[in-house]
Structure formats: C-alpha cells, structure tokens
Copies of this chain bind each other. A is one copy, B any other.
Amino acid sequence: MKRRFKCVCAYDGTDFKGWQSQAGGGTVQDFIESRLEQIFKEKIRIHASGRTDSGVHASAQVFHFDADWPHGCDRLLAALRCGFPDSIQIQKVSFAKNSFHARYSVKRKRYIYRLYEGFAPPKTTRYRWSLGNRRLDISVMNKAAQALLGEHDFTSFSANRGCEKEDTVKNLMELKVSRRGKEIKISTTGSGYLYKMVRMIVGALVDVGLGKLTKKDLERILEAKKRGQKIQSAPARGLTLEKVWY
C-alpha cells in the first residue's frame, strides 16, 4: 500500500540547474527522483515546497512523495544517505498524512541571504555575495525594510516566469538585516514568494544600503505593482532556503 513520505533535504545549489526537473536533467529534483527510482524500482514523482533557482542553496527544503515501502522511515533514510553527490543530502524522512502537500500546505518559509563586506575567502564565496570595497549602512536598510513588511502585492519585486498564474499578494512577517563583522545577513520570512522576489528585495535593499535608493523609492516601486522596475536581482549564490513551516 502506498504511503506519503515527507523528506527534508539540503543542497549546495552551485552546480545544479535549480530545483525543478527539466529536459536535460542536472537539477536537484532530477537527482532525487533518479535515486528514488533506483530504490523503489519505479518512477516516483516528488513535490517540493517550491522550486529554487539555479545556484540557490537549501538548508532544509521539504518535499513529499507517495510510495510503497515495507520498512520503516529509518531504513529509507539510510538508503537515501547514499547515491547522491556530496552537494545533496537527505536529512529526514517521516510519514505524512495524505492531506499533507509539501507545496500547498506551506504556512511560511524563511530565506537567508548572505553578503560579505570585502573579498569573501574562497571557502565561503559559493555561499555569499562578495561586496568588494562597497560598504552598507544596515541601519538605513532596516528602516527601509519596514516598507515591505506585511501583506502587499509584490509584482514589482518579481520576474516573469512565463505563463504561470499566481496570486501576487504575499505576506512578509520578517525582513531583517544583521551584521557580524564583515558578514551581513538578510533574513526574510513570508507566506510565499514570487519568482526572484527574495533576490530582488535583497538587490533593492543593498542599493538602499549603498545610498542609491531610499525607503520612499521602495514604497514607490511596491505601489507601482508592475514588473520591470529598475532594481537589481542579487546573485543566486548568496541565497539559502532556510526553513519551511507547515
């Protein structure tokens, strides 16, 4: 009898073409589905909390699938510990109710974006946006971030992903910039995110920190509710999906 499994996984997104399965392969989903096929001897479709773009990382991405497995979750986890490149790691496997859906049951998600004021050392540069000689005023950034908190239509902070229709109103409960030495972290928790939304918010906040944009500009951009505003999208490498709540 098929049961529903909920899995938590982490990945270093640098060398993948994003989460979502695609024709040429090379995505995280492709690797996981191909490993599941080895284990279950049949094609298994997995459903994640959401896709992540090429180069974006995850500390705790959640996905589910249905399969017939005669043993316990521990044994499935042990099987899923192997057969992957080091850059993908399955961390937890548990049974879920059939009503659970990794994408539709999401309550909120946290992303963390990491920056480095200076030239990030090679061991960290895969996971940080290195700012070189530029310096950020994080207190101004935190004040401007207030403009984006709460429920808004975030169309201005999104890119087009083709034909997909999606509710463009999202609720941001957290958007906070913090510093520890040269490391700067932007943490955001929200009900959901549009395509490229986190990276565009980070890009805009960095421009605020550099004095190129103001809180007023962010308000104006948000109000426009239109794509194609002049805001940069922060590089994928700094972004990590940190946690998903159900």
Binding site for B on A (CB under 8 A): 10-12, 57, 59, 81, 86-89, 91, 119, 121-123, 125-127, 132, 240
Contacts and interface: CB of A to CB of B under 8 A. Distances in A.
A111 to B, nearest CB: 15
- Which among A91, A119, A122, A125 has the greatest number of chain B C-beta atoms within 10 A? A122
Contacts of A240: 123
A141 to B, nearest CB: 25
A123 B57 contact: yes
Contacts of A12: 122-123, 125-126
- Which among A91, A123, A127, A240 has the greatest number of chain B C-beta atoms within 10 A? A123
B122 A11 contact: yes
Across chains A and B, which 3 residue pairs bring their CB atoms closest together, nearest first? A12-B122, A86-B125, A87-B122
Nearest to A78: B133
A86 B126 contact: yes
Nearest to A90: B119
Nearest to A86: B125
Contact of A121 (B81, B89, B132): B89
A123 B240 CA distance: 10
Contacts of A89: 119, 121-122, 125
Contact of A122 (B10, B81, B119, B123): B10
Contacts of A57: 122-123
B86 A121 contact: no
Contacts of A125: 12, 86-87, 89
Given A59-B121, A86-B125, A89-B125, 11 more contacts: A10-B121, A12-B122, A12-B126, A57-B122, A59-B123, A86-B122, A86-B126, A87-B122, A89-B122, A123-B126, A123-B127
Contacts of A10: 121-123
Contacts of A81: 119, 132
A215 to B, nearest CB: 33
Nearest to A240: B123
A119 B86 CA distance: 10
Contacts of A88: 122
A121 B57 CA distance: 11
